[in-house]
Structure 1
Amino acid sequence: MLKQTPTGTWLPAFVPESSLVISLLLMLCSLVQSSTSGYDGSMLNGLNILPSYTDYFNLTTATTGLNTASVFIGCTVGTLVSGIMTDALGRRPAIFWSSVITLVGIVLQTAAQNVAMFVVGRIVLGLGTGISGVSSGVYLSETFPSQWRAWGVGLLNDFYYVGALIAAGVTLGTGQWQSTWAWRLPSLIQGIFSILCIAILPFVPESPRWLVHEGHFEYARNSVAQANSNGDLQDPITVAVYKEIIDALDFEKKESRTMSPKEIFKTPTARKRLLIGMSAGPFSCVAGNIIASYYLGDELTTAGITDSTDQLKANVVLNVWCLACSIFGTNLAAKWGRKPTALVSEALLVICLFIIGGLSKMYADDPDHASSSLVYGNVGVMFLFQGFYSVAWTPLLYLYPPEVFSVRGLLSFIFESTSFIGTWYSIRANGLAFSSLMLNSLACVFVFIMPIGLHNIGWRMYMINGSWDIVIAILIAVYWVETKGKTLEEIDALFEDKKQSSVPEIEHIRTGRATLDAKPPSREAKI
């Protein structure tokens, strides 16, 4: 049964009565969002191997990097406006418009007649995916029940590899075609994911935290109940979650009226949250996966696999492996914790990168006499590296930042001090946007320079990446804070040293270790 549900926006909702079905729809929303990015990366991986693509555009090393990296130019611009869009329009409408923009970019990319048109199409595509990455991450983190948040939001990036696997299969299938449709068809198929996302949005509720800020208190209570208790407004979990949202947003809104941007810069807690929350983006970018994500052909060539068909087959196998590892990593993050998962992954990445660098050097020193065991051993370690990367960074990239960013914080005060933006209640959207901005800015540079670096210094690129990862592991060990098993408001208390709501922890209520005596709050006053 579907229930027509007010959303406070122009985008209507006809929400199922079952919270389980809603969670499954939200997970499906995660799937199609992340599949777009995964498809794009794997598609370009395949296209950069195809002669029909490289010859059509007469690509050089520089234009190959430009064609590939231009999507991150759009992503960077998209993240600059994504927080504002997500707060102003609502979470679901922001996802809708980002999907429309992505479709426009895909059409331009598919119809490209020259490098300039292809680059413009990819910039527009990146603009849409940049906005959707932030709006989806914020929406899902705010809407999923706490016990499902790690899985629901983790899948937002896990299914990158579903899209990647589909793209790898498509480019393998079209790779033998002699026409431009060998690369145009894979590009066109990319639009299916955005269409699916638009189709899902009318059947999921709006974020309760956004609704509370907009003054739609009853709509927010209904959204919490739909996601947590099959629509039962009197359920203790629903009452407790709603009261936490009301109390935390009320407190933090009042606090923000009395604090200036200068004072927030002076607050160690605010600086700590900003730096920890935004770190996931840059850390994941410089970990070393960009080589295999966009230039697998070049990486395999350095290892001794030079046949284009063999490289395309390796692309398919790699994405199956990474999908399995990312799902396993999501389970680790949910049961073991975010910080331990990241630390173990980083340690394994360092080991793999130094081994890859050493084996690649051995092959480069004498490629004519390199043994098959050396070649396939190097490829095996490359696959292990991508799997270890997927265990932590694939789920954590969109899971950890929105958990760490508070309902109030640095960027909201910066925005409040500017005349053209006005007042925003939350930095969760803007904070995740900042993390994504750092990621896409670095990716724009790294994706462009990687083919140049691999061509000029070869195996040394792996050694450089390994050194960076050692620094990343130390920073995670010292500064990251564990967020497993807590609601967003309870995570705030980890940083602020006190909880702004009197209700017990939600997991204690859920497991029977605590009871809730409070009546459902009735809030009509503005906060």
Structure 2
Amino acid sequence: MSADDKQPTFFAETATTTTNEKELAVNAQLGAQEQHELTVKDSFRLYRPAIAWSFLFSLGVIMAGFDPQLVGSLVAIPTFQKQFGQKIGPNEWVVAAKWQSAFNLGVPVGQVVGSLGVGIPLDKIGRRWTLACCCIITCIAVALQSSSQNKPQILVAELVNGVVLGAYPVIAPTYISEVTPVVFRGFAAAFVNLSFVIGQLVASGVLAGTQSRTDRWSYDIPFLVQFVFPIIILCLLPWAPESPWWLVRNGKDAKAKKALTRLAHPSVDVTATLAHIKLTTELELEERSSATFADCFRGTELRRTTISTMVYAIQPLAGNFLVIGYAVYFFELAGLPVNSSFYLGVGLLALGFVGTCLSWPLIKVTGRRRIYNWGLVTLMILLLLIGILDCIPLKAGDLGPRWAQAALMVVYNFFYDLGIGPLCFVIISETSSAKLRGKTIAIATTVNALINVACAVGIPYAINPDQGDLEGKLAFVFFGVSVPCLIWCWRCLPETKGRTFNELDVMFQKRLPTKEFKTYVVEDDMAFHVYE
């Protein structure tokens, strides 16, 4: 019998089961029951330290939202255009499409390397040290950006920064899913998306405040602001507890118990939680002892990797790279004044912030699958409307259809951050197995980055006036790509709300059909199963 075909039995039914194994299983079952009985209010009261440290790890994601937003909007700053662009008319400059693509490629290309490579240090040196190393590299990259004198130096800085910007979205959901209770896991994972939005919003706000300057501080100040986030993390990180899941997998049970104690209120008995972690880890090792990238594509792990990858890939495929990354530049090309374009960009991201905050109560009462699927449907409708409005012939001085397009892009970002934006990080943190979580999220982030690379190359040529000049008609392309994505979601995206990692392991190992995930009842003695 192969490892992938092993069927669950139970400690109670296994003659060779030892007393210690039975005790571990009983405590693990108690731990699972405690997780199900915990309310959101209880989690705030009993697991406040875990929630606080989760937010610290999410600060890294703010940088992953800040830099791409910054680079995407730099090309709309008159001083930057004059310094690094080419003259196309009286007092009019534009950054060449090839250099726009190059600047926007820097981060996604670096992310491919960073998201794949970060899985190694995550497993070898842990979550804390990996985050610390990334913050140091970010400081180096920001120093390169702010001292740039030419376009190649900016590109090199973006490539260096891109490596760690690919790592932050892997580190944060990995740590968050391992330290927060089940009832709060959705909120904490959704905060990863909020961190992206905060980064984008801060970048847009800073740019709106500096874009009217006539010196290089108009773009150097936004670069330098990035120093704030890694410095905060590096100052607080020495006091952050390591992930107890990582400690258990590395045979450091005593340190894992100490970490659990620091992550919870003193009144919480962490013995049951530790037993649950140990049992889940042992069960995953029984199925497969190795933990390589290749294992993510074997047996039941293939399904889990596919789900995690698809929900992350759908984000750029549904047009978020165009709407968020190029909003300000698109507004300018559409004929809106520079100041109005920047303020609209800030409004777009501010509404996204509100959407992400509203997603939290929605996550509490509604399933992951429903929010994600209907969120995608809403975005597709908005993309179709944006494209249709671009087909309306404009009369001289009539900017009505362009303002309508701009309004729809703002609404798009609201629904994106209400639905598929935050839900992506909830789903990938719950769907990936504990043993391969870092690697699974790394693969999903890499695929997302590769799609962003394609967007970074293609979008400037598609919308630039000296190239394709498609402007809003590009929304039709993303609408068409979203159709097969929606079909996949309805057929393959399971419901994971309210499930412990152990329960999800059982359901994936049983190869349950997608439609049964929501209603399937895991046996009461589920915690006792091992593998023959």
Q: TM-score, normalised by structure 1?
A: 0.82
Q: Does 1:314 align with 2:350?
A: no
Tell me if structure 2 keeps the 8 A contact 1:109–1:117: yes
**Partner of 1:49: helix, strand, or coil?**
coil
Q: Does 1:162 align with 2:198?
A: yes
Structure 2 match to 1:478 = 491
Structure 2 match to 1:423 = none
Distance 1:260 1:112 in 2: 39
Q: Which of the numbers 274, 279, 295 marks the counterpart of 2:305?
A: 274
**Partner of 1:124: helix, strand, or coil?**
helix
Distance 2:476 2:250 in 1: 50
Tell me if structure 1 keeps the 8 A contact 2:371–2:423: no
Distance 1:450 1:333 in 2: 33
- CA offsets per residue over residues 363-405 of structure 1, 9 Å max, x none? xx33526353x33222221111111111123212322212111
Distance 2:249 2:123 in 1: 10
Task: Kindly report the root-mean-square deviation, in angstroms, between the aligned alpha carbons of the 2 structures.
Answer: 2.8
Structure 2 match to 1:388 = 415
Distance 2:484 2:119 in 1: 29
- TM-fit CA distance, 1:498: 9.9
Distance 1:259 1:103 in 2: 32
Structure 2 match to 1:241 = 273
Cα 1:263–1:395 shift into 2, 3 Å: closer
Tell me if structure 1 keeps the 8 A contact 2:359–2:419: yes
Structure 1 match to 2:504 = 491
Structure 1 match to 2:459 = 450
Distance 2:390 2:137 in 1: 41
Structure 2 match to 1:523 = none
Distance 2:427 2:214 in 1: 45
Distance 2:145 2:57 in 1: 24
Cα 1:277–1:265 shift into 2, 3 Å: closer
- CA offsets per residue over residues 290-318 of structure 1, 9 Å max, x none? 1122211332245x442111111111111
Instruction: Please tell me the residue identity of whatever aligns with 1:389.
Output: Y
Cα 1:461–1:271 shift into 2, 3 Å: same
Instruction: Please tell me the residue identity of whatever aligns with 1:279.
Output: M
Structure 2 match to 1:109 = 145
Cα 1:18–1:384 shift into 2, 3 Å: closer
Instruction: Please tell me the residue identity of whatever aligns with 1:447.
Output: A
Percent identity reads 22
The number of residues matched between the two structures is 462
Instruction: Please tell me the residue identity of whatever aligns with 2:362.
Output: L
- CA offsets per residue over residues 448-487 of structure 1, 9 Å max, x none? 2112112313333111111112221111111011111122
Q: Does 1:40 align with 2:67?
A: yes
Tell me if structure 2 keeps the 8 A contact 1:154–1:396: yes
Distance 1:283 1:242 in 2: 35
- TM-fit CA distance, 1:259: 11
Structure 2 match to 1:49 = 76
Cα 1:441–1:376 shift into 2, 3 Å: same
**Partner of 1:481: helix, strand, or coil?**
coil
Structure 1 match to 2:283 = 251
**Partner of 2:427: helix, strand, or coil?**
helix
Q: Does 1:469 align with 2:496?
A: no
57-66 or 346-355: which moved more? 57-66
Structure 2 match to 1:400 = 427
- CA offsets per residue over residues 152-187 of structure 1, 9 Å max, x none? 121012122222222212111111111111101110
Distance 1:476 1:69 in 2: 28
**Where in structure 2 are the equivalents of 1:123-202 lying within 5 Å?**
123-202=159-238
Tell me if structure 1 keeps the 8 A contact 2:383–2:476: yes
Cα 1:331–1:41 shift into 2, 3 Å: farther
- CA offsets per residue over residues 59-100 of structure 1, 9 Å max, x none? 201101211221111111101211111111101111111111
